[in-house]
Structure 1
Amino acid sequence: MINSVEIEQSKSKFLDKYNRMHSVDKALTKSINAALGRNPLYNEKAKTNDIRRNIKKIWMIHLNEMSKKYYVQSVNREVFIQDVIELKEIMNDSYGMYFSTEFRISHSQKSLSVFLKHLWCMNMIERPPICPLDRKILEAAGRKYSEAKWTHINDIEEYAKKISWLQKEAFKINCSLAEWELLVFK
């Protein structure tokens, strides 16, 4: 069983490594960078830095707006999923012409979940209902190469299936998905 001291120490370690200043702006930047790190998005029309900066700026605004409900109350998984879908739709409707394929569920879930993780670790929101999904965390849950792929995910059913694998691991040590990921993520 996981105790609160262990969780608080892990939150502190995460912030020491990724957001020493406990900055919301840094959290937004880190969130978008995490979503794009192994998951290319832009096409040739977005080759200038000005266009990409503008897209990221609007993306940050939407993440920040979506996060407001998480400050007020604990939010369940269904609301998080709706936020992921909404962010995907907003970005595609606004900037789809600049994306190589489209802004996928993988981009949306990663940016929102990493942002919420930062806010949680800074004690600004309650524990998020879900955790960031990526290869590293899927491999920590025992998934091999083909099952650990995440960048192509563009439907909620596939996303939910991968999250269920993580949920089983969290259940084994009697903690939430967000707590399990925080403890496992290095």
Structure 2
Amino acid sequence: MKKIFIDSEVWSLSISGAFQRSNVYKKNILDKDKKEFKLGLREFICNTILPVYKLGKVSDKNHIANIENLQQYTTNYGYLLTAGQFNFGVSQKLLNLYLKYLWCLDIIPEPPHFPVDRIIQEKLKYKPLIAWTKIKTSEEYMAIVNFARTKIEPKDKFHNSLGTIELNLFSRRNF
């Protein structure tokens, strides 16, 4: 029961983080349809994408392909979604946030990237800032990731990987 509870909470936090500010749904979409969509997303990520992350290191190329596969999957629910599918930014945020939580719970090894959003760009001093909800391509996204890589310092335990840099810079606004 504890595992089911934690899985549900992690998924809920991931959905909330990825859907905030992103205007995902068309107007007047029924709650039952939203629930079906989120259930399908979860099954797709857990059954199709997640297994490779449990095995270990995932390359940039494979991670980008997984984000694009998630984006493509959402076209199955295009009738619910504002743009007919997620854009790259929403797709990366959902997958990266979910992977980050699983990593922090020691369920998977460290994922290749972190959730890209405005806050992390500001803390990294990345310019020009790109609204994560507007990221359309892997090139825009990878420019931010590659900029963050310039901040890696192998001998510093708080800055020796993308994940540790993001965790060190991350802070909730409410605390």
Smaller-chain TM-score bracket: 0.7 to 0.9
Q: Secondary structure at the match of 1:23?
A: helix
Cα deviation, residue 180, structure 1: 0.5
* Structure 2 CA distance for partners of 1:74 and 1:22, relative to 1, 3 Å: farther
Cα deviation, residue 167, structure 1: 1.9
Alignment match of 1:57 (pick from 39, 61, 71): 39
- Whether the 8 Å CA contact 2:126–2:144 is kept in 1: the answer is no
- Whether the 8 Å CA contact 1:139–1:148 is kept in 2: the answer is no
Output the CA distance in 1 between the equivalents of 2:164 and 2:152. Answer: 8
- Whether the 8 Å CA contact 1:22–1:122 is kept in 2: the answer is no
TM-score (norm 2): 0.85
Cα deviation, residue 95, structure 1: 0.6
Alignment match of 1:181 (pick from 161, 166, 169): 166
Alignment match of 1:149 (pick from 125, 131, 156): 131
Alignment match of 2:142 (pick from 136, 143, 160): 160
Output the CA distance in 2 between the equivalents of 1:49 and 1:104. Answer: 22
Cα deviation, residue 22, structure 1: 7.8
Percent identity of equivalent pairs:
26
Amino acid at match of 1:83: N
* Structure 2 CA distance for partners of 1:183 and 1:29, relative to 1, 3 Å: same
Aligned pair 1:131/2:114, yes or no?
Answer: yes
* Structure 2 CA distance for partners of 1:73 and 1:138, relative to 1, 3 Å: same
Aligned pair 1:47/2:29, yes or no?
Answer: yes
Higher relative contact order (Cα pairs below 8 Å, separated by 6+ residues)? 1
Provide structure 2 residue ranges, at least 5 long, that are not aligned to the other structure.
Answer: none
- Whether the 8 Å CA contact 2:117–2:132 is kept in 1: the answer is yes
Amino acid at match of 1:132: P
- Whether the 8 Å CA contact 2:24–2:86 is kept in 1: the answer is yes
Residue aligning to 1:23: 6
Amino acid at match of 2:141: Y
Alignment match of 1:120 (pick from 103, 115, 118): 103
Residue aligning to 2:57: 74
Higher helix share goes to which structure? 1
Aligned pair 1:100/2:85, yes or no?
Answer: no
How many residues end up aligned between the 2 structures? 163
Q: Secondary structure at the match of 1:114?
A: helix
The range that moved more, 122-131 or 155-164, is: 155-164
Provide structure 1 residue ranges, at least 5 long, that are not aligned to the other structure.
Answer: 1-20
Amino acid at match of 2:63: F
